[in-house]
A and B are shown apart, each in its own frame.
Chain A
Amino acid sequence: MSLLEVRDLRAGYGMVEVLFGLDIDVDEGELVVVLGANGSGKTTTLRAISGMVSATGSVTYKGQEVLGKRPDQLLGMGMSHVPQGRGTINALSVVDNLRVGGISRKDSEVDSDVELWLERFPRLGERRDQLAGSMSGGEQQMLAIARAFMSKPEFLLLDEPSLGLAPLVTREVFDRLRDVTADTSTSVLLVEQNANLALQFAARGYVLEAGEIVMSGPAEELQGDEAIQKAYLGI
């Protein structure tokens, strides 16, 4: 049984339907990517899974139906969502952002965990008292990821971390991401536009077009696919 099973997921905003019945699986320990162009419904997919837009269909997480649960309930089940545009809390310092990330935890190790994550992301450690809003895009993205890990998630929803970042910075973010997910054996559902990079890190991938899955398979297979190469890899 998969960790996450999405079946026939449909969602939209008001009268406008965006998703037309998606099926997605994520296994334990896996990093799965959903590729798609702007407006294909990537962000909506994640928002529907984490209960931020109303949706129909079925989302099973750890064998339990979770569609309709609120983000804070999902957080309690170990699912954490890093929103698009990084979603750092700009008026708070780096340390405070991390503390907010751990706010739902009841244990007493939040403060020591904050230090741990500042060590894992040294660039954040150097800026621990700086306001999040005044940092560079790459630093904010790392902060958003580190903050999500503060809730000790088993499963991470990650929305387009490459958005607005320079290629070198994007690569650094992905490297860090791979290290920490491996360390913490966290499963990840990533949505990305940057197929080239994402497929190097992911185990499997789905291709989303206008709200429908048009292709799926192991990452190497997708990398080799001619249509993907044309559409997303620019080869």
Chain B
Amino acid sequence: MRPSRKRIWGSDAKSLSGRGPPVNNFLEILVVGIGNGATYAMLGLGLVVIYRSTGLLNFASGELAMFSTFIVWTFWNLGFPMWLAILGGMLGGFLIGVLVHKVAVSPLGDPHERPLAVVIVTIGLFLGLNGAAQLIWGTVDKRLDPWFGVSQITVGGVAIAWQKIGAVVVLFVMVLLLWALFKFTKVGLSMRAVASNSESSALCGVSVQNMLMLGWGMAAGIGTLAGVFSAPNLGLGTNLMQLTLVFGFAAIVLGGFDSILGAVVGGFVVGILSSVVPQYITVFEKMPLAPAFILILAVLLFRPQGLFGSKDVARV
């Protein structure tokens, strides 16, 4: 067995406990948690969009985000302004998402009828995207500057990085856009209809395949943002999103698989838990993932629909 060439877990733990000045203030830990939580919520939003449109847990979601973050880096590295690079990456992610759905996912049929096939295909995508990224961008981590710079402001004695504030603001803009899309547009209405009853939607003339494709594309586009906010801390490598994926899943398990609000609330809760708990409970010191894992397990066992999910989702 050859292990993957790089460690896949170390960097996040480091960013919470080792790097920079020692975190000794509860509020500062909280700020870190909220900043991370915004990232988890972004990945969670992508997962929710896919779950809502296809009923599928996308295990390749993190790798899609990683891949499109590399696209962002490529544009940025070529000298494009960051916001344009990010738009480019989101567009790239969107196209890959669309392609992935068209080629690999849609031929599978109902994901809950053939769960093993879904797991295998998304894991095949996981491997494929990871390998493709290694092939294109190599195995040395790239440096992506923080979108909102490295400076920070001090509020009531607590230093808050602009990057963290930026993450929260971007998250809320995303949520607002998604909410408006689903609430006010014909496309949003069609996507909701397909998610609830694809056969009836088809009878009403909704193009089901196009809506599912759109869902995949949107999810991948949103995931790009999660990658863009993770990369400056963790270093942009092909294993960028593997931990974040589990955090993102924890977020939507807690919030409810099909709830946008739930992904946001869940993201923040998971972000805060995973930065606060290891500071106070030494047994979790090197595994900020453990509280998130316990959360996943407990929610699936005792309240499978999560906080805000609809009951009929709880097919657990």
Query: Is there an interface contact between A87 and B200, defined as CB atoms closer than 8 Å?
Result: yes
A63 close to chain B: CB less than 8 A:
no
Among the listed stretches A8-16, A54-62, A90-98, A221-229, which one makes contact with chain B, having 4 or more residues with CB under 8 Å of it?
A: A90-98
Query: Is there an interface contact between A90 and B205, defined as CB atoms closer than 8 Å?
Result: no
Residue of A nearest to B192 (CB): A92
Query: Is there an interface contact between B193 and A89, defined as CB atoms closer than 8 Å?
Result: yes
From the candidates A70, A91, A101, name the one contacting B204 in the complex (CB within 8 A): A101
B201 close to chain A: CB less than 8 A:
yes
Query: Is there an interface contact between A72 and B202, defined as CB atoms closer than 8 Å?
Result: yes
Query: Is there an interface contact between A103 and B186, defined as CB atoms closer than 8 Å?
Result: yes
* Interface residue total, chain A, C-beta cutoff 8 A: 26
B110 close to chain A: CB less than 8 A:
no
Residues in A neighbouring B201, C-beta threshold 8 A:
89, 100
B141 close to chain A: CB less than 8 A:
no
Residue of A nearest to B208 (CB): A72
A176 close to chain B: CB less than 8 A:
no
Residues in A neighbouring B189, C-beta threshold 8 A:
92, 96, 99-100, 103
Digit string of B183-209 for contact with A (CB within 8 Å is 1, else 0)? Answer: 000100110110111011111111100
Query: Is there an interface contact between A83 and B204, defined as CB atoms closer than 8 Å?
Result: no
Residue of A nearest to B205 (CB): A104
Query: Is there an interface contact between A76 and B205, defined as CB atoms closer than 8 Å?
Result: yes
B310 close to chain A: CB less than 8 A:
yes
Residues in B neighbouring A133, C-beta threshold 8 A:
312
Q: How far is the CA of A89 from the CA of B192 in the complex (A)?
A: 9
Query: Is there an interface contact between B205 and A103, defined as CB atoms closer than 8 Å?
Result: yes
Residues in B neighbouring A81, C-beta threshold 8 A:
203
Residue of A nearest to B258 (CB): A91
Residues in A neighbouring B206, C-beta threshold 8 A:
72, 100, 103-104
Query: Is there an interface contact between B205 and A71, defined as CB atoms closer than 8 Å?
Result: yes
Q: How far is the CA of A151 from the CA of B203 in the complex (A)?
A: 10
A88 close to chain B: CB less than 8 A:
yes
- 8 Å CB interface, A84-120 against B: 87-92, 96, 99-101, 103-104
Digit string of A34-74 for contact with B (CB within 8 Å is 1, else 0)? Answer: 00000000000000001010000000000000000011100
Residues in B neighbouring A96, C-beta threshold 8 A:
189, 192-193
Query: Is there an interface contact between A92 and B193, defined as CB atoms closer than 8 Å?
Result: yes
Q: How far is the CA of A96 from the CA of B196 in the complex (A)?
A: 12
Query: Is there an interface contact between B197 and A88, defined as CB atoms closer than 8 Å?
Result: yes
From the candidates A87, A88, A91, name the one contacting B192 in the complex (CB within 8 A): A91
Query: Is there an interface contact between B190 and A90, defined as CB atoms closer than 8 Å?
Result: no
A207 close to chain B: CB less than 8 A:
no
Q: How far is the CA of A92 from the CA of B189 in the complex (A)?
A: 9
A24 close to chain B: CB less than 8 A:
no
Residues in A neighbouring B312, C-beta threshold 8 A:
90, 133
A75 close to chain B: CB less than 8 A:
yes
Residues in A neighbouring B204, C-beta threshold 8 A:
75, 100-101, 103-104, 147, 151
Q: How far is the CA of A152 from the CA of B195 in the complex (A)?
A: 24
Q: If A96-B189, A100-B190, A103-B189 touch, does A91 touch B203 (CB 8 Å cutoff)?
A: no
Q: How far is the CA of A76 from the CA of B203 in the complex (A)?
A: 11
Residues in B neighbouring A83, C-beta threshold 8 A:
199-200, 203
Residue of A nearest to B206 (CB): A103
Residues in B neighbouring A50, C-beta threshold 8 A:
203
Residues in A neighbouring B193, C-beta threshold 8 A:
89, 92, 96, 100, 103
From the candidates A76, A87, A104, name the one contacting B197 in the complex (CB within 8 A): A87
Query: Is there an interface contact between B199 and A87, defined as CB atoms closer than 8 Å?
Result: yes
Query: Is there an interface contact between A91 and B205, defined as CB atoms closer than 8 Å?
Result: no
From the candidates B186, B196, B199, name the one contacting A91 in the complex (CB within 8 A): B196
Residue of B nearest to A104 (CB): B205
Q: How far is the CA of A82 from the CA of B197 in the complex (A)?
A: 13
* Residue with the greatest number of chain B CB neighbours at <10 A, chosen from A72, A89, A91, A92: A89
Residues in B neighbouring A90, C-beta threshold 8 A:
196-197, 312
Query: Is there an interface contact between B310 and A88, defined as CB atoms closer than 8 Å?
Result: no
Q: How far is the CA of A109 from the CA of B123 in the complex (A)?
A: 47
- 8 Å CB interface, B169-195 against A: 186, 189-190, 192-193, 195
Residues in A neighbouring B197, C-beta threshold 8 A:
87-91
Q: Closest CB-CB distance, B27 to chain A, in whole Å?
A: 40
14 A-B Cβ contacts within 8 A? A50-B203, A72-B202, A72-B207, A89-B193, A89-B200, A91-B196, A100-B189, A100-B193, A103-B193, A103-B204, A103-B206, A147-B204, A151-B204, A151-B205
Chain B residues close to A by CB (< 8 Å): 186, 189-190, 192-193, 195-197, 199-207, 310, 312
Q: Which 8 A-B pairs have the closest CB atoms?
A: A104-B205, A91-B196, A87-B200, A72-B205, A75-B205, A89-B197, A100-B193, A89-B196
Told that A87-B197, A104-B205 touch, could you supply 11 new A-B pairs with CB distance under 8 A?
A72-B206, A82-B203, A83-B200, A87-B203, A89-B201, A96-B193, A100-B201, A100-B204, A103-B204, A104-B204, A147-B204
